[in-house]
Chain A
Amino acid sequence: MAACFSCDAHASEAGLLAYDIVGDAVPAALGGLLGDPERGREIVLDRRSGNCLICHALPAIDQHFQGELGPALAGVGERLSTGQIRLRLIDQSRINATTIMPPYYRVDALSHVAPEYIGQTALQAQQIEDVVAYLSTLSSSP
């Protein structure tokens, strides 16, 4: 188990919004925020924020610049409900304890985090909702 020296302090410092898990999903949007799929797409592609393509492939993007550590994201909006996508982004380890997919909305039970990121989530609540909105639009037929 990774060390966490002051999980509670981190959680409150980061001001994480509370959410309810139902089955393998978080049905309600974080803080009731409305996601913007256009912004979500940018976050997914941007190396400095989501950077999802280090692990995932997206349709219509040069193969050489996409990862293959996770499943291709084509059609994910058909395979999964919005709430299921949301939980996978918030904290995939709730579904698969040994996953390598980073927890994008969690600050506890992390170790040796670089000082500039301590107590911060990898994506903010609004960004999570933007990415959820974008992924929900991905169907397998282009």
Chain B
Amino acid sequence: MNWRALCFALIATLPSAATSTEILPSGTTFLSQGLQAQAADAGANPGMLWVADGERLWNTAESAASSSCASCHGDAEVSMRGVATRYPLVIPGSNQLLNLEGRINTCRVQRQNALAYAHESDELLSLSAFVARQSLHMPLKVTVNDANAEFFAAGEAAFHQRRGQLNLSCANCHVERVGLRLRGDVITHALPNAFPIYRLEWQGLGSLHRRLRACALGVRAEMFDYGSEAYLNLELYLTVRANGVAVETPGIRK
């Protein structure tokens, strides 16, 4: 290796700052060729069953007193294109961080005269997968601004804090040890661009927050609630790190 190549190799292995402009490789690129091909093929990707169900829900009013998503937003291919690349976000004037699932449930309650879907329910996973799918291949576009800076800082601190009986931080694995094998898994950059994901271990679709709970369990740390502030802050931090990475919902994982 010549000197220049060596320098490049060294730089490439340095942990990247969250604010750097480098675009990180998607978690999908760490999978076997077979799983990558399956994820890319809409006919073979099992997560597409949820997407199809999400389309049905999009067009259906739950009761006579309710209205469908389509009755306000029309054709999702047009109105929802690029939406997922902007979440999580702070609704102006609200000082509250909302992810896509939170946005969907806000619509349910405030506009559709319906009850919020339960976290990890098939309905909420299906609709969020369907909405995110409308941004397929589009780069995530969340950056730090005045409105979200505080949430971002909290997420960043949480990402770097060692936690649990096994005393590991997210960064210990997902920044410092990317590409190394942790038992049967290869550690990735922990990007949120393919969620909700179909995980073979779950035999179903699951949200980013479900994955965060799995990592917490692994280090014997306290698990936070689905949709909790702690996980929303982490979701924002992970999304900003993933700025520029293309949406791949629904991803497949082991």
A-side residues, CB < 8 A to B, are 2, 53-55, 64-69, 100, 102-103, 110-115, 117, 120, 122
B182 pairs with A114, CB closer than 8 A: no
Shortest CB–CB separation between residue A56 and chain B, in angstroms? 10
How many residues on the B side are at the interface (Cβ–Cβ under 8 A)? Answer: 22
B residues at A contact (CB < 8 Å): 161-168, 172, 176-177, 180-184, 216-217, 220-223
Contacts of A53 in B (CB 8 A): 183
Question: Which of B168, B181, B184 is in CB contact (< 8 Å) with A100?
Answer: B168
Q: B161, B165, B182: which contacts A113 (Cβ < 8 A)?
A: B165
Assembled-state Cα–Cα distance A55/B181 (Å): 8
Q: How many angstroms from the CA of A112 to the CA of B184 in the assembled complex?
A: 26
Given known A-B contacts A2-B167, A110-B167, A111-B162, A69 and B220 have beta carbons under 8 A apart? no
Whole-angstrom distance between the Cβ of B160 and the nearest chain A Cβ: 11
Q: Is the CB of B222 within 8 A of A113?
A: yes
Check B221–A112 contact: CB distance below 8 A.
Answer: yes
Whether the Cβ atoms of B183 and A113 lie closer than 8 Å is no
B217 cross-chain contacts in A, Cβ below 8 A:
114
> How far does the Cβ of A105 sit from chain B's closest Cβ, in whole Å?
11
* Cβ contact within 8 Å between B163 and A111: yes
- Pair A117/B165 contact, Cβ less than 8 Å: yes
A67 CB contacts on chain B under 8 angstroms: 180-183
